[in-house]
Structure 1
Amino acid sequence: MTTFRKGLVLALGITMTALGVAACGGGDSGGDVPAAAGPNEHVDLTLATFTEFGYEALIPEYERLHPNIKITHRKTGQGGPYAQDMMTKLAAGSGLADVQAVEEGHLSDILDKSSKFNDLAKIGPADATADRWLPWKYDAGKDKNGKLIGYGTDIGPDAMCYRKDLFAAAGLPTDPEAVKSLFSSWDSYFQAGADYVAKTGGKAWFDSAAQNFNAMVNQLPVGYLDKSDKLTLDTNQGIKDAWAKVTGAVAKGESAKLTAFSNEWNSGFKQNAFATKVCPAWMLGVIKEQAGPENADKWAVTAAFPGGGGNWGGSYLTVPTQSKHPREAAELAAWLTAPEQQIKAFEAKGNFPSQVKALASPELLNSTDAYFGGAKVGELFAEQAKKVTQAQYKGPGDGQIQDTVASAALQAVEQGTSAADGWQQLVDGAKKLTR
């Protein structure tokens, strides 16, 4: 996806603990990676990001701590064009930044080309160890051979958002604790949706079949591709079950049949087009922006998600082998993804941190959001993040299957195509992408 940083605006303050210059990791020297520059040797570094990472104030801070380093920040407005440009420069063998951000949805394509990126476990600072991050976030930055190509930045732990007023009108509970049972499993969620449709004379329960399906697939032990990069659709019962449940809900009138992030979807938040929404942390900002101030305190968020935990979103900082200063680049990437800096990024732009110490900080845990009834959203999403147990392997093309093929097939079902024909559309499209 290309819209993960629409803005989760949370009030937060923190006192910065400045990090000293960390020594490069011991043991393996990183092979033929150039040695680090001397303390008085001038180094120019480039940092490439997209949408909002919250680094604007951190860059001059790093330069003050490292007077010999000058950072040029290349910031792109949209994730899609950014990813296309990145892949073009990767294929050309030149033009990438010293520190290149990679969004989760495109990470599988980068991991497939891991030889073109430095192993951060070998050249990075000694304090950037695995225990800095949630285990599943750290593991997702490795290729299938265990090479670490990315330091984790933010994450998108999943919760559920819902409209309290629409729930009340349908005779459903409205308190965040009371609604948790509705969201305990996908079966209970879709059953509640069928009841809601019946009680409201046909009003939609959720926004988009694809949004739910993507979340369900991401929860599975194995997704569209196995670790041999073979397509699993013919044998993956979990995906088949998810398809059956989602398309069954569509047949019962539960979907508003909206394409996520389209103009109609955006307007749907103001027009009461649906009552519930799969809600990763960054989605709060989207809801506030699209629903507007007139719907403040009508939306609520609860620390529950069907099937347990899930994650949708987040990025990594990588150091391409194109970099002329890989050790300095790795040190910058490590500093930006340290808990202290990620809390500041959270304060600036709402990017939810993936670092263990950041998730336990009082500043994050006590943060609230008045738009959602004063919910302690920091504590809520920290709790949800810890429910994710493992990183699902993402093979090359995984993101394209999810974003284009599966979404298009489900949109076809929403417009009248049979569930069986929609499934075949998914299978055929995925096979074309993975040949």
Structure 2
Amino acid sequence: MRRRHWVRVAVCVVASVTVASCGAGGAANRTADGRTELTVATFNEFGYEELFAAYEAEHPNIKITQRKTGQGAPHHQNLFTKLGAGSGLADVEAVEEGYLSQVMDKSGQFHNLLEIGPKDVTADRWLKWKADAATTRDGRLIGYGTDIGPLAMCYRKDLFAEAGLPQEPDQVRQLFATWDSYFAAGDRFVAKVSGVAWFDSAAQIFNAMHNQHDVGYFDTSDTLVVESNPDIRNDWNAVTAAVAKGQSAKLAAFSNEWNTGFKLGRFATKTCPSWMLGVIETQAGPENAGKWAVTDAFPNGGGNWGGSYLTVPKQSKSPKEATELAAWLTAPEQQIKAFQSRGTFPSQVEALENRALVEHVNTYFGNVKAGALFAAQVQKVRAAQYKGPADGQLQENVFGPALQSVEQGKRADDAWRTAVQEAKKAAG
């Protein structure tokens, strides 16, 4: 999920300049009435539209223009193209966490927000692991954190009942205590319920498992460790074994078939970062209200899946004003408003204790206090896994397709060898 696929919670903000320029320090863009123009481009939904209007009201010298795309991939392709060209970027560029490693590899092209930002905006505004992920080895903070995606588990109560499994959130925790218990419950489910899978996609399960480890595809020296990291192969073996037992619905995430799978009840469980509740409600539709539930458990503890940052490229003509806007948008007060508007779960320490968040009730999921549930899940996240520059490529273009090939009948060992070969190519 990258969150680039989210329907309701993932958003990136990008500010594009009216006239392409290279480097900071040039004349700021001005509107006809003399205001400084900051153009902000977004992907998906950050919940910023009303906030822009409020900021302009408080800062009459600022004009904000928004440009929004429906998905994150085109936005980031544009970002990296213009970074390479040395011109054309926005004053504020939002970066989704799946692409952050590539941005960190080019961190010299972004401002250190600790230097040019408001002095009262320090890294301790955010969860430590959120800020750490956007901090370079020499201590430069290049992104203000927006949202995050703490993980819980969603499931279909009616399908659990059909399989003879417990249905209430406080009863199903034991099924989701570990990945072993999760797959064991999957065996029980597919043995009892015909025509319905245990989970939606092998890649979705594998990604969630993989992101829990201290070391992922790369170590902190950017060395590819796919073959030497036993956790990756163990995850692969566990997921592909579940596929062989019929636990996967074999639906590519965010495809039309996957969307329809929610509506038709093609699978019984779903890895659920906080933003996924909105996706499920949208795709499953009102006819399935009350059938889906979410519990404050996730196999092998917690995890995070998704989230973005606001950055200020050195190409910006108005870096001071852009940083002030980014700082304001990522303040706890504004992040709570974004949460109320679009469900984006805040990464700011103060926001996680806000009444509006912890008392938020989701009626679609049986009136669960979803805000408090996910705030508790946040506390189970120990650290952000280090991502190498090609990490996103490996997830999207290597291991995802390799797992899909297993779902389509390829031998798991053969698919693994292909994945390793392709990973080496991607890593250069």
Scaled by the length of structure 1, the TM-score of the pair is 0.91
Is contact 1:121-1:148 (8 Å) kept?
yes
Question: How many Å separate the matches in 2 of 1:422 and 1:221?
Answer: 24
The aligned residue for residue 387 of structure 1 is 380
Identity over aligned residues, as a percent? 63
**CA distance in structure 2 between the partners assigned to 1:410 and 1:78 by the alignment:** 23
Q: Deviations over 1:255-302 (max 9, x none)?
A: 111111111111111221110000111111111111111100000000
- Aligned residue identity for 2:154: C
Counterpart among 253, 270, 293 of residue 260 in structure 1: 253
Q: Give SS of 1:179's match.
A: helix
* Deviations, residues 108-138 of structure 1 (Å, cap 9, x unaligned): 1111100100011111111211221111111
Match of 2:228 among 229, 235, 240: 235
Residue equivalent to 1:316: 309
Q: Is the Cα contact below 8 Å between 1:112 and 1:143 reproduced in 2?
A: no
CA distance in 1, matches of 2:259, 2:53: 36
Q: Name 1:23's counterpart in structure 2.
A: none
Question: Partner residue of 1:7?
Answer: 8
Distance change in 2, residues 1:278/1:313 (3 Å): same
For residue 93 of structure 2, what is the aligned residue in structure 1? 100
Contact 1:36 1:328 in 2 (8 A): no
Aligned counterpart, 2:19: none
Give the secondary-structure state (helix, strand or coil) at the position aligned to 2:49.
coil
- Displacement of 1:203: 3.4
Describe the SS at the equivalent of 1:162: strand
Aligned to 1:18: none
Secondary structure of the residue aligned to 2:121 is: coil
Cα RMSD (Å): 1.9
Matched, 1:345 2:346: no
Counterpart Cα distance in 2 of 1:2 and 1:154: 10
One-letter code of the match for 1:391? A
Partner of 2:123: 130
Post-superposition CA distance 1:320-373 (Å, at most 9, x none): 000121121111111100000001111111111111111100111011111100
Tell me if the contact between 1:296 and 1:371 (Cα under 8 Å) persists in the aligned partners.
yes
**Structure 1 position 199, deviation (Å):** 2.1
SS of 1:177's equivalent in the other structure is helix
- Pairing partner for 2:136 from 134, 137, 143: 143
- What is the aligned counterpart of 1:290 among 276, 283, 286? 283
Deviation at 1:4, TM superposition (A): 4.5
In structure 1, distance between residues paired with 2:238 and 2:195: 19
**Matched position secondary structure for 2:364:** helix
Partner of 1:171: 164
The alignment covers a number of residue pairs equal to 411
Amino acid in the other structure paired with 2:6 = R
The question of whether the paired residues in 1 share the 8 Å contact of 2:9 and 2:44 is answered with: no
Aligned partner of 1:429 among 408, 416, 422: 422
> Aligned in 2, Cα 1:199/1:60: closer, same or farther, shift over 3 Å?
same
Is the 8 Å Cα contact of residues 141 and 149 (structure 1) preserved in structure 2? yes
Match of 2:104 among 111, 114, 124: 111
Letter paired with 2:178: S
Give the drift of 1:35.
12
Q: Is the 8 A contact 2:9 2:46 kept in 1?
A: no
User: What residue ranges of structure 1 are gaps of 5+ in the alignment?
Assistant: 10-31
**SS of the counterpart of 1:400?**
helix
Cα separation, 2, equivalents of 1:270 and 1:283:
15
Name the TM-score, length of structure 2 as normaliser.
0.93
Letter in 2 for 1:426: A
Matched, 1:418 2:411: yes
Between the aligned partners of 2:5 and 2:329, the Cα distance in structure 1 is 19
Deviation at residue 415 of structure 1 after TM alignment: 1.4
Q: How far, CA to CA, are the matches of 1:352 and 1:2 in structure 2?
A: 12
TM-aligned CA deviation for residue 201 of structure 1: 4.2
